[in-house]
Amino acid sequence: MNRYTVAVLVRNQFGVLNRVTSMFRRRQFNISALTVSETESSEFSRITVIFDGEETYKQQLVNQLYKLPDVCSIKEFSADNSISCELLLIKMENDPATRDDIRTAAEAFGAVTVDYSKNSIMFRLADSSQRIDDFINIMRDYKILEICRTGSVSLEKGSTTIRQTINF
Amino acid sequence: MVLSGADIVVKTLIEQGCDTVFGYPGGQIINVYDSLYKYSNEINHVLTAHEQGAAHAADGYARTTGKVGVVISTSGPGATNLVTGIATAYLDSVPLVAICGNVPTTQIGTDSFQEIDITGVTLPITKHNYFVGSVEHLADTIREAFKLAKSGRPGPILIDIPKDVQIAKCEYTPEPPVEADQPLAAKDVRIKEAAEYINMSKRPYIYFGGGLITSGAQDEMLCLAEKIDAPIGCSLMGLSGIPTQHPRFLGMQGMHGHYASSMAMHHADLIISLGVRFNDRVTGNRAKFAAGAKIIHIDVDGSELSKNVNAVCGLRGDVKLTLEKLLPLITENKKSNWNDTINLFKKEESDYIDNRDGLTPRRAILTLNKYLGDNTAVATDVGQHQMWSAQNLCFKKARRFVSSGGLGTMGYGLGAAIGAAFGTKERSVLVTGDGSFGMCLNELATAVSYNVPLVILIMNNGVLGMVRQWQTLFFDKHYSNTVLNRKTDFVALARAFGADGEAVSDTKALDEALKRAFDYNGVYVIDCAIDKDEFVLPMLPPGGSMDDIIVKVGD
């Protein structure tokens, strides 16, 4: 099993996310994370898909994506050629007994305190998915109230862009 | 000129070269029907008895002509009635444009009367679909739909048009018909690789499907077969692709394929596959499927390559253009040992073949063959009669076998046969079973209303034969809900609809009935009695391999 990160440039049209996820569902592709947002051009949206599987599984997923008329371009990323980042918001119980330990761990990971109340403390961390996993694992020793993470987004290093590969 | 959305729909269809559409009116498509009335001297609308029949008719029209079939329906139930027809076209890669009305945009999402989210419903069974939110996008959306429907691997497209968009007006400028995307050959490096495999092969088998017909690559395939001295087989969707009598043609292979064809595929060292997708009815147990063979796979749809079976060489590209580039790289050579083996398989097949006298299914189809013209389209429904037809019908021209291969839609045949008659402008034939015919026989009304020249051969065994065959073989003869024993008098029924017909129970009577049917001006129904214990053979049990082939039952 490998972990794959694939960016998909799609026409920014009503229902396009539904078309992509509907295809994943009916062909039983199991997706670990998926993000979507508008791009530098309002004409396009960009979907980042992360999934685990064998090479043939990935090939089939990419081939099926290319069959959707709204898909304009697809780019595969590896750790070497790209920068990936995910955003985490995590809300912890604010207990005087554990407060210092939590804040020390957060500081070590570079997480920023974004909300502070009598009973809760919230951190924001933008980092690789692995680092976010590590941070959450440490926080599990204390009382986690709520977690929200975005799923990873990726861009290729250097000046090449996904739009240069349209109509591959 | 400034036109209403409804007028734009019809004008754009005409502009795209569409001369015949099939459909059924209703409240949310009434404006388009008003435009069809207005432009009735430029475009012909065929009113069916049910939207499903209209969808199948548009599909039959598309399969026989190669043009895009068009079906029109209203919103809600009209649109959902198209679903089986659209799915049938999707699974068999048929170019189809379905146009539905919908409630006005202001009411969308409020669960209005006859409102349904048809773009949502048809998402997984269309190549693409559109909800047209404004009249300015209407003409270009229809043009894009036609382009998509016929480009690459064809398929159905649905366009959902709210009523207010049909009423709204905007400027319309006619445009020439859209062309399909330029087909491309596979990459040279892959073609070279394929040529090497082919030149090394001692026991090649050429295997084609519907993709070969779509691409029009018959001549190139036959040229390849001559060069490498190879036998040819096909999938159900490939039937009629080359003349049945062609000396290299072994027939359909697969679950109910010809013995020699399946054996040749099983023993080949190289399977050259052209526009096929290795469906489970073709491969049986994939682990045991043609275990000694390497597979070369040429298909316009890259996602089919190594999807179901692993190809040593996958060529994504148009079959015809790819073969054109491949042929000069192929060295001519004779393969007498392999052809001796093929002849042995043929001999074994002729020993197994059902030569009984009397009105056997095979005799019935062979009798029908005598009356088929070169251009006659034969539609079928789904079940035993479909397989008997596939095994025994004799075709001379491509696009003349019209059958639901992928979805296996019982009730497909009558609508499709009507569409085929409009497409070929000739008498068409429907071979059906009493079960399938019972599903959508309402379209007899359509056929009679338009005086469609149509011969309907009902292979009537009083049971749901294919399921019953499985129950006999795999379910200890528990005939659960497969024994119909209905009191339907199909001849009286035909007459009630305004057609004519007769019942037959021996070969001579069938022969005479067919003669009358093919001379008859209109719809003629032959209720042909078939024994309920007739089997479709040979049979590869589901999930089985050639080791499990059943060639005879009972003795």
Note whether B385 and B494 are same-domain residues: yes
Instruction: Identify the three-state secondary structure at position A123.
Output: strand
Q: What are phi and psi of A24, to 5 degrees?
A: -60, -45
| pLDDT band for position B172 (cuts 50, 70, 90) | very high
Q: What is the pLDDT of residue A129?
A: 92
Q: Is position B300 within any domain?
A: yes
Q: Determine the average pLDDT of the residues in B170-194.
A: 97
How many angstroms separate the CA atoms of A161 and B246, rounded?
Answer: 53
Q: Determine the average pLDDT of the residues in B113-142.
A: 97
Q: Around B436, how many Cα atoms within 13 Å sit in the side-chain half-sphere? A: 31
Q: Pick from B90, B105, B117, B123 the residue to mutate for testing the A interface (most A CBs within 10 Å).
A: B123
pLDDT tens for B434-489 read 999 999 999 999 999 999 999 999 999 999 999 999 999 999 999 999 999 899 99
| pLDDT band for position A19 (cuts 50, 70, 90) | very high
Note whether A70 and A88 are same-domain residues: no
- CATH assignment of the domain containing B448: 3.40.50.970
Note whether A134 and A113 are same-domain residues: yes
Q: What is the pLDDT of residue B289?
A: 87
Q: Is position B532 within any domain?
A: yes
Q: Is position A20 within any domain?
A: yes
Nearest by Cα to B252 from B236, B231, B230: B236
B132 and B141 in contact (C-beta within 8 Å)?
Answer: yes
Instruction: Name the DSSP letter for residue B550.
Output: B
**Which residue intervals of B151-242 are DSSP H helices?**
163-167, 188-200, 210-215, 218-228
Cis peptide before B538 (omega within 30 of 0): yes
Question: For residue B521, what are the domain limits?
Answer: 361-536
Which of A77, A106, A134 corresponds to the end of one domain?
A77
- Identify whether B51 is a catalytic site residue: yes
| pLDDT band for position B173 (cuts 50, 70, 90) | very high
Tell whether the model's pLDDT for residue B553 goes beyond 80. Answer: no
What residue type is assigned to position B345 of the chain? F
Note whether A73 and A99 are same-domain residues: no
A162 and A75 in contact (C-beta within 8 Å)?
Answer: yes
Residue from the list B120, B148, B301 with its beta carbon closest to the beta carbon of A69: B148
Q: What is the pLDDT of residue B284?
A: 85
Q: Is position A26 within any domain?
A: yes
CB contact under 8 A, A56 and B128: no
What residue type is assigned to position A54 of the chain? E
Closest-CA residue of B relative to A19 is B123
Nearest by Cα to B212 from B318, B96, B344: B318
Q: Is position A168 within any domain?
A: no
pLDDT tens for B24-74 read 999 999 999 999 999 999 999 999 999 999 999 999 999 999 999 999 999
Note whether A119 and A88 are same-domain residues: yes
Note whether B220 and B122 are same-domain residues: no
- CATH assignment of the domain containing A24: 3.30.70.260
Q: Determine the average pLDDT of the residues in A84-113.
A: 97
Q: Determine the average pLDDT of the residues in B423-427.
A: 98
- Å between A19 CA and nearest CA of chain B: 7
Number of Cβ within 10 Å of residue A166's Cβ equals 11
- CATH assignment of the domain containing A110: 3.30.70.1150
| pLDDT band for position A135 (cuts 50, 70, 90) | very high
Residue from the list B123, B133, B307 with its beta carbon closest to the beta carbon of A19: B123
Note whether B209 and B286 are same-domain residues: yes
Note whether A43 and A94 are same-domain residues: no
- Identify whether B237 is a catalytic site residue: no
Residue from the list A15, A60, A70 with its beta carbon closest to the beta carbon of B303: A60
B11, B15, B22, B51: which is the annotated catalytic residue? Answer: B51
* CA-CA-CA-CA torsion sign (B272, B274, B277, B283): negative
Q: What is the pLDDT of residue B280?
A: 87
Note whether B124 and B264 are same-domain residues: no
Which of A50, A77, A104 corresponds to the end of one domain?
A77
B410, B439, B459, B466: which is the annotated catalytic residue? Answer: B466
Q: What is the pLDDT of residue B285?
A: 87
- Strands A120-127 and A71-77, bridge-based pairing: unpaired
pLDDT tens for B234-268 read 999 999 999 999 999 999 998 999 999 999 999 99
Note whether A90 and A30 are same-domain residues: no
Question: Using CB atoms within 10 A of its CB, is residue B247 exposed (0-12), middle (13-18) or buried (19+)?
Answer: exposed
Question: Using CB atoms within 10 A of its CB, is residue B435 exposed (0-12), middle (13-18) or buried (19+)?
Answer: buried
Q: How far, rounded to the nearest angstrom, does the alpha carbon of residue B223 sit from its chain's CA centroid?
A: 26
Note whether A40 and A101 are same-domain residues: no
pTM over 0.90: yes
Q: Pick from A26, A63, A167 the residue to mutate for testing the B interface (most B CBs within 10 Å).
A: A63
Q: Is position B478 within any domain?
A: yes
pLDDT tens for B385-404 read 999 999 999 999 999 999 99
B67, B150, B163, B294: which is the annotated catalytic residue? Answer: B163
Note whether A53 and A115 are same-domain residues: no
| pLDDT band for position A166 (cuts 50, 70, 90) | low
How many angstroms separate the CA atoms of B253 and B262, rounded?
Answer: 5
Note whether B53 and B149 are same-domain residues: yes
CB contact under 8 A, B128 and A69: yes
Q: Is position B382 within any domain?
A: yes
- CATH assignment of the domain containing B333: 3.40.50.1220
Note whether A72 and A87 are same-domain residues: no
- Those residues with Cβ within 8 angstroms of residue B219's Cβ, 6 or more apart along the chain or in another chain: none
Q: What are phi and psi of B233, to 5 degrees?
A: -130, 175
Q: Is position B90 within any domain?
A: yes
Tell whether the model's pLDDT for residue A168 goes beyond 70. Answer: no
How many angstroms separate the CA atoms of B9 and B11, rounded?
Answer: 6
Note whether B139 and B240 are same-domain residues: no
| CA-based end-to-end distance of chain B | 75
Question: Using CB atoms within 10 A of its CB, is residue B109 exposed (0-12), middle (13-18) or buried (19+)?
Answer: exposed
Q: Which helix (H) or strand (E) holds A85?
A: strand A82-93
Tell whether the model's pLDDT for residue A113 goes beyond 60. Answer: yes
Number of structural domains found in chain B: 3
**Which residue intervals of B318-455 are DSSP H helices?**
319-326, 336-352, 361-369, 384-392, 413-424, 434-440, 444-449
- Identify whether B114 is a catalytic site residue: yes
Q: Determine the average pLDDT of the residues in B179-204.
A: 97
Nearest by Cα to B415 from B98, B26, B51, B25: B51
The DSSP secondary structure of B434-478, one letter per residue, reads HHHHHHHGGGHHHHHHTT--EEEEEEE-SB-HHHHHHHHHHSTT-
Question: Using CB atoms within 10 A of its CB, is residue A104 exposed (0-12), middle (13-18) or buried (19+)?
Answer: exposed
Q: Does B150 contact A at CB distance below 8 Å?
A: no
Which of A44, A77, A110 corresponds to the end of one domain?
A77
Note whether A114 and A70 are same-domain residues: no
- Identify whether B179 is a catalytic site residue: no
Number of structural domains found in chain A: 2
Q: Pick from A10, A19, A28, A62 the residue to mutate for testing the B interface (most B CBs within 10 Å).
A: A19
Note whether B165 and B280 are same-domain residues: no
How many angstroms separate the CA atoms of B4 and A136, rounded?
Answer: 59
Note whether B466 and B444 are same-domain residues: yes
Note whether B327 and B431 are same-domain residues: no
- Å between B173 CA and nearest CA of chain A: 25
Q: Is position B429 within any domain?
A: yes
- Å between A84 CA and nearest CA of chain B: 28
- Identify whether B387 is a catalytic site residue: no
pLDDT tens for B348-363 read 999 988 889 999 999 9
Note whether A40 and A106 are same-domain residues: no
How many angstroms separate the CA atoms of B442 and B411, rounded?
Answer: 10
Q: Determine the average pLDDT of the residues in B131-145.
A: 98
Tell whether the model's pLDDT for residue A167 goes beyond 60. Answer: no
Q: What is the rounded radius of gyration, in angstroms, for the C-alpha atoms of chain B?
A: 24
Instruction: Identify the three-state secondary structure at position B204.
Output: strand
Q: What is the pLDDT of residue B485?
A: 87
CB contact under 8 A, A66 and B302: yes
Question: For residue A11, what are the domain limits?
Answer: 2-77
Note whether B344 and B372 are same-domain residues: no
Note whether B258 and B338 are same-domain residues: yes
- Those residues with Cβ within 8 angstroms of residue B224's Cβ, 6 or more apart along the chain or in another chain: B206, B230, B272, B323, B326, B327, B330
Note whether B206 and B264 are same-domain residues: yes
A30 and B270 in contact (C-beta within 8 Å)?
Answer: no
Note whether A33 and A70 are same-domain residues: yes
Q: What is the dihedral of CA A47, A50, A51, A55, to 10 degrees?
A: 90
Tokens of B84: 């089986």
Number of H helices, E strands in chain B: 23, 20
B275 and B212 in contact (C-beta within 8 Å)?
Answer: yes
